[in-house]
Chain A
């Protein structure tokens, strides 16, 4: 796995701004989950497709996203 995105799902407000900036379109709101604030939190479906660009994390108004990348594989 080249990259990994971690969401602090309890802090997510489900606004969906991260979805608009993901070039790989792999982020979606998890309708099967409701966090403690009552929102459907964002999650990544297909982590293997993530390129670790961190657009989602930069766009997130609540700073709930951390992005890691395996630098050696670059």
Chain B
């Protein structure tokens, strides 16, 4: 019997604190497996955010740094500029990246900082109890929007992957999800490509991953996967919005 799959060496043996069925765990695995397979783990420094994934520094089996809320791109900028030979990534949720840290991420992309951002978008503030986020869908219920997000009052969701694609310093911007095997394989490829492009010095790389929040969406984990596929993908289309590699090729 040969082992065909076991827990990645890129993750520590600690049990994750995430709610049952939260896809943070799946995304952690894809990042860890990419770092191991690309032989980068020993030289990687990750920056953890504030939000549900605040304890990410306990789970990734590489050097990690915690940042103030939304400031992971600033911390990653400092680390990468001092240690340009190392792989640097930030792992941020939508409250961290698309709300309090919006300026940080946009300016990091503008400067073309050579790190990778994994942006986990679950359309709600998970850790604080299900409040409306900038990424909450119009009509979606949240504790601060009990009748659903009202477009006239609260506006429409922010599309971060598309915004990043408009910025000159960004080399790669894509949106993926992990709700079933075909989508997960595409997410796996995207995360690998982002790290590869970083190490080739192509510029800032950004991977948005649509994730679930069964607890605050008020669904079972399996229903939450279905909601991403049936509803969330319509608002946040999957795809590659910028790829400096393919531009060179054309």
B227 to chain A, nearest CB (A): 13
User: Complex Cα distance A61/B23, Å?
Assistant: 6
**Is B184's CB under 8 angstroms from A67's CB?**
no
Q: Is B201 among interface residues, defined by CB-CB distance under 8 A?
A: no
Say which residue of B1, B7, B19, B181 sits within 8 Å of A69 (CB atoms): B1
Q: How large is the interface on B (under 10, 10 to 19, 20 to 34, 35 or more residues)?
A: 20 to 34
**Is B21's CB under 8 angstroms from A13's CB?**
yes
Q: Is B71 among interface residues, defined by CB-CB distance under 8 A?
A: no
Interface size on A, residues (CB 8 A): 28
Q: Mark A4-45, 1 if CB is under 8 A from B, else 0.
A: 100000010111110111000000000000000001000000
Q: Mark A40-57, 1 if CB is under 8 A from B, else 0.
A: 000000000000101101
Say which residue of B5, B11, B15, B18 sits within 8 Å of A65 (CB atoms): B5
A14 surroundings in chain B (CB, below 8 A): 20
User: Complex Cα distance A61/B24, Å?
Assistant: 7
Say which residue of A13, A15, A16, A21 sits within 8 Å of B181 (CB atoms): A21
A33 to chain B, nearest CB (A): 16
User: Complex Cα distance A60/B29, Å?
Assistant: 9
Say which residue of B4, B19, B225 sits within 8 Å of A67 (CB atoms): B4
Q: Can you report 16 A-B residue pairs in the complex whose CB atoms are below 8 A from each other?
A: A4-B1, A11-B15, A13-B19, A15-B20, A16-B221, A20-B225, A39-B20, A58-B5, A59-B26, A61-B18, A61-B24, A61-B26, A66-B6, A67-B4, A67-B5, A67-B6
**Is B180's CB under 8 angstroms from A68's CB?**
no
**Which B160-174 residues have C-beta < 8 A from chain A?**
none
User: Complex Cα distance A4/B180, Å?
Assistant: 22
Can you name the residue of chain A whose Cβ is closest to the Cβ of B25? A61
**Is A52's CB under 8 angstroms from B221's CB?**
no
Say which residue of B181, B221, B222 sits within 8 Å of A55 (CB atoms): B181
B225 surroundings in chain A (CB, below 8 A): 17, 20
A40 to chain B, nearest CB (A): 11
